[in-house]
């Protein structure tokens, strides 16, 4: 067996073992240290840390989520960084989510229901003796052969988790997601292995106004958060924006409109980027982040929760601070492709 290196994480003074070739973030999470992360693909920049001592390298070169300036200033992305010996990094630890145990569990597909032409609602049943404790907004990884994994947000809320609900968008040429469509691959009753809960995209209790921004199936973690707030009697001003190309892509719009009728402190704006004839009647058109900015001259004092395609998340991260949003009040999950799939499509 090849020797392990040590990763020391400051200012906490915690040391974890990391195998050669293993991403530093993976080693830290496996050791129960809850370091910030989201995409695990080197895109979103959430796992940025400062290298204080030692050397790391990246299997596919400097990741896209790290600028040349950041790299030169000694910053690294821990989800991609491989230690070349013992290293010391400076990183933030997140306390609250760390209290939740990450488990690897078998589960069965209990139910499959098409929500739209390319979105499947997947209900997972855990073994009777098992229970997955999670926080609203977290995701799980479906474990595939060869160590590959595919991430999906949990759409059901923690207080209603007998079955775990996922919203899976079919990806063109997608090895895993396409098996859920067309009845030929994964059917009801099929066995999967999952690992979770993962991620820091979790709802924070508070009192200030909240803006939620979903892009496509980015609605899934926000549904978990909204059900958590609305069904446990918490009071909060929340404005949900849901962006999609066409009206059918807002696959649970009626459910949201029902919530809005019953909960006066919830507002909802649907935004279509490619609205067809008649689709825009009670909806806005354009990009969802631009609709938020058009409605909010100032976002200072607000908290923003955003989930969906990487391009939407990048647009939000680039533009919302200019409207007064404090960066530490922006929580997001960027729905990137899995690292193995990105590596396979990356230019040589």
Ligand X SMILES: Cc1cc2nc3c(=O)[nH]c(=O)nc-3n(C[C@H](O)[C@H](O)[C@H](O)COP(=O)(O)OP(=O)(O)OC[C@H]3O[C@@H](n4cnc5c(N)ncnc54)[C@H](O)[C@@H]3O)c2cc1C
Residues 6+ apart with CB under 8 A from 282: 270
- Binding flags for ligand X, 198-237, as an x/- string (CB under 6 A): -x-----------------x--x-----------------
Q: Is 45 in the site for ligand FES (CB under 6 A)?
A: yes
Q: Is 116 in the site for ligand FES (CB under 6 A)?
A: no
* Residue closest to ligand FES (Cβ): 79
* Residue 34 to residue 202: CA distance in whole angstroms: 13
Q: Measured between alpha carbons, how far is residue 82 from residues 5, 6, 19, 93 in Å?
A: 10, 11, 9, 19
Among ligand X, ligand FES, none, the one that 309 touches (CB under a kind-dependent 5 to 8 A) is none
Interface size with ligand X, residues (CB under 6 A): 28
Q: Nearest distance from residue 38's CB to ligand FES, in Å?
A: 5
Q: Confirm if 135 and 198 have CB atoms less than 8 A apart.
A: no
Binding piece for ligand FES, criterion CB under 6 A, among 43-51, 67-75, 87-95, 143-151: 43-51
Spatial CA neighbour of 144 closest among 192, 104, 93, 178: 192
Among ligand FES, ligand X, none, the one that 153 touches (CB under a kind-dependent 5 to 8 A) is ligand X
* Residue closest to ligand X (Cβ): 174
Among ligand X, ligand FES, none, the one that 333 touches (CB under a kind-dependent 5 to 8 A) is ligand X
Q: Confirm if 168 and 120 have CB atoms less than 8 A apart.
A: yes
Q: Is 77 in the site for ligand FES (CB under 6 A)?
A: yes
Could you say which of 48, 82, 150, 289 contacts ligand X (CB under 6 A)? 150
Closest CB to ligand X among 24 and 308?
Answer: 308
Task: Tell me how crowded residue 65 is: count the other CB atoms within 10 A of its CB.
Answer: 23
- Binding flags for ligand FES, 46-65, as an x/- string (CB under 6 A): xx-----------------x
Q: Confirm if 172 and 241 have CB atoms less than 8 A apart.
A: no
Q: Is 248 in the site for ligand X (CB under 6 A)?
A: no
Q: Nearest distance from residue 314's CB to ligand X, in Å?
A: 13
Could you say which of 9, 289, 338, 339 contacts ligand X (CB under 6 A)? 338
Spatial CA neighbour of 240 closest among 250, 153, 249, 319: 250
Binding piece for ligand X, criterion CB under 6 A, among 98-106, 242-250, 277-285, 337-345: 337-345
Among ligand FES, ligand X, none, the one that 168 touches (CB under a kind-dependent 5 to 8 A) is ligand X
| Residues contributing to the site for ligand FES (CB under 6 A) | 37-47, 65, 77, 79
């Amino acid at each position: 067996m090849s020797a392990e290196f040590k990763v020391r994480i400051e200012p906490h003074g915690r040391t974890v073992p990391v195998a050669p070739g293993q991403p530093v973030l993976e080693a830290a999470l496996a050791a129960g240290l809850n370091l910030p992360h989201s995409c695990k693909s080197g895109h979103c920049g959430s796992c940025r840390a400062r290298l204080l001592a030692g050397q790391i390298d990246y299997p596919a070169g400097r990741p896209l989520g790290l600028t040349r300036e950041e790299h030169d200033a000694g910053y690294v992305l821990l989800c991609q960084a491989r230690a070349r010996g013992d290293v010391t990094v400076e990183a933030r630890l997140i306390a609250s989510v760390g209290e939740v145990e990450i488990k690897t569990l078998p589960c069965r597909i209990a139910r499959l229901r098409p929500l739209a032409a390319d979105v499947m609602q997947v209900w997972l049943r855990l073994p009777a003796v098992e229970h997955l404790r999670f926080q609203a907004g977290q995701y799980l990884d479906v474990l595939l052969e060869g160590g590959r994994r595919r991430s999906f947000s949990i759409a059901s809320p923690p207080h209603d988790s007998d079955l775990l609900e996922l919203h899976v968008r079919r990806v063109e040429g997608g090895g895993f997601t396409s098996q859920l469509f067309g009845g030929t691959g994964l059917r009801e009753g099929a066995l999967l292995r999952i690992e979770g809960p993962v991620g820091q995209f979790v709802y924070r209790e508070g009192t200030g106004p909240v803006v939620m921004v979903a892009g496509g199936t980015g609605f899934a973690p926000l549904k978990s958060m909204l059900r958590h707030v609305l069904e446990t009697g918490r009071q909060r001003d929340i404005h949900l924006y849901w962006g999609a190309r066409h009206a059918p892509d807002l696959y649970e719009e009626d459910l949201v409109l029902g919530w809005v009728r019953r909960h006066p402190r919830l507002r909802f704006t649907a935004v279509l980027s490619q609205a067809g004839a008649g689709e825009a009647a009670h909806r806005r058109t354009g990009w969802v982040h631009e609709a938020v900015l058009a409605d909010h001259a100032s976002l200072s004092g607000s908290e923003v929760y955003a989930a969906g395609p990487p391009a939407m998340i990048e647009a939000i991260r680039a533009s919302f601070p200019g409207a007064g949003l404090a960066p530490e009040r922006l929580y997001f999950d960027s729905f990137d492709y899995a690292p193995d799939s990105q590596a396979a499509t990356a230019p040589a």
